[in-house]
């Protein structure tokens, strides 16, 4: 197994940040508070303007301003992996160049969605972006959202490009994860909270987490426990997180449940942009009970 991970500095817990809205506009004050919250928790990196950040409904200016604001607030105290992916290669280049210009440490590029490229198309897309910038690139492979898998052989080819260093692995396939870790020097991060421990056990190095918006310290403890060989503690936290993911994140499409949870915890307005809609009243009651149990467990 190739253990020479190129993106090792991004190991541990990164959080896929929500984008807070207030009266229909981005709430930059709340966004700043979220970054400071993650710094205080000890999180490795924040990931603004990704899918959890409702990037499909952000305007170009909002998208850029969110990245700029997060980089400014981070101020070198926490890494920033800016969401800059698109199904247009030119647009992805534009956003990634901007992220580099304002000081992001890396860029997260989701697989081009809807237009369903060939494997050669995926390769040329990521290669083109990577060659236009100097910052590190994270391949985000999530076939359930994008309609097509970036096959391991394609990722192995992309690993030869110096600044492609990371993979956010959201295929749900442990076989694919194993193949990539065994065959490349890429740092593989789980894209599913419930699969963080399994992926760590295969040689992955952390997670880009959704539930980390509300329980970052738990995810950090899990990663640290595993790294320290305390598998029993890592497994205990895994099942706690697994229960949270199963009961909360499956209520509706991400980021609907996590935004509702943050609202109940007094950390966000819970506003969403269409076509996303809020939880039903019954779902909110279920979420309230889930969070109540979670908070009682933490006491």
Q: Is residue 168 annotated as part of the catalytic site, yes or no?
A: yes
Instruction: Determine the Cα–Cα distance for residues 145 and 192; give it in Å rounded to an integer.
Output: 13
Residue 91 CB contacts under 8 Å (≥ 6 apart), including other chains:
none
Q: Which of 168, 221, 259, 263 is catalytic?
A: 168
Q: Which of 6, 79, 140, 221 is catalytic?
A: 140
Task: State pLDDT tens for residues 287-298.
Answer: 999 998 877 766
pLDDT of residue 7: 86
Please report, for the chain, the start and end positions of each structural domain, with discontinuous segments joined by +: 8-229
pLDDT of residue 2: 47
Q: Is residue 148 annotated as part of the catalytic site, yes or no?
A: no
pLDDT over 70 at 299, yes or no: no
Task: State pLDDT tens for residues 219-263.
Answer: 999 999 999 999 999 999 999 999 999 999 999 999 999 999 999
pLDDT over 60 at 117, yes or no: yes
Task: State pLDDT tens for residues 84-99.
Answer: 999 999 999 999 999 9
pLDDT of residue 4: 52
Instruction: Determine the Cα–Cα distance for residues 72 and 101; give it in Å rounded to an integer.
Output: 12
CATH for 8-229 is: 3.20.20.70
Task: Using alpha carbons only, give the angle 260, 82, 136 rounded to the nearest 5 degrees.
Answer: 145
Instruction: Determine the Cα–Cα distance for residues 74 and 277; give it in Å rounded to an integer.
Output: 30
């Amino acid at each position: 197994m190739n253990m020479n991970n190129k993106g090792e500095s991004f190991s541990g817990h990164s959080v896929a940040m929500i984008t807070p809205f207030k009266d229909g506009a981005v709430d930059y004050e709340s966004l700043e508070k979220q970054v400071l919250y993650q710094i205080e928790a000890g999180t490795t990196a924040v990931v603004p303007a990704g899918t959890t950040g409702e990037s499909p409904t952000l305007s170009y200016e909002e998208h850029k301003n969110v990245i700029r604001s997060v980089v400014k607030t981070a101020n070198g105290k926490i890494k920033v992996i800016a969401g800059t992916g698109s199904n247009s290669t030119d647009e992805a280049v534009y956003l990634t160049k901007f992220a580099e210009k304002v000081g992001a440490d890396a860029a997260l590029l989701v697989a081009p969605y809807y237009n369903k490229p060939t494997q050669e198309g995926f390769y040329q897309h990521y290669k083109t972006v990577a060659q236009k910038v100097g910052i590190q690139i994270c391949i985000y492979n999530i076939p359930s959202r994008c309609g097509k898998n970036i096959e391991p052989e394609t990722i192995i080819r992309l690993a030869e490009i110096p600044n492609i260093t990371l993979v956010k692995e959201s295929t749900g396939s442990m076989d694919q994860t194993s193949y990539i870790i065994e065959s490349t020097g890429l740092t593989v991060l789980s894209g599913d909270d419930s699969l963080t421990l399994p992926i760590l056990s295969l040689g992955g190095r952390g997670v880009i987490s959704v539930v980390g918006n509300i329980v970052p310290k738990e995810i950090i403890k899990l990663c640290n426990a595993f790294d320290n060989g305390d598998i029993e503690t890592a497994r205990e936290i895994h099942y706690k997180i697994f229960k949270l993911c199963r009961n909360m994140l499956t209520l509706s499409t991400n980021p609907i449940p996590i935004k509702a949870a943050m609202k109940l915890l007094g950390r966000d307005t819970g506003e969403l942009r269409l076509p996303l809609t809020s939880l039903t009243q019954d779902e909110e009651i279920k979420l309230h009970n889930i969070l109540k149990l979670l908070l009682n467990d933490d006491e």
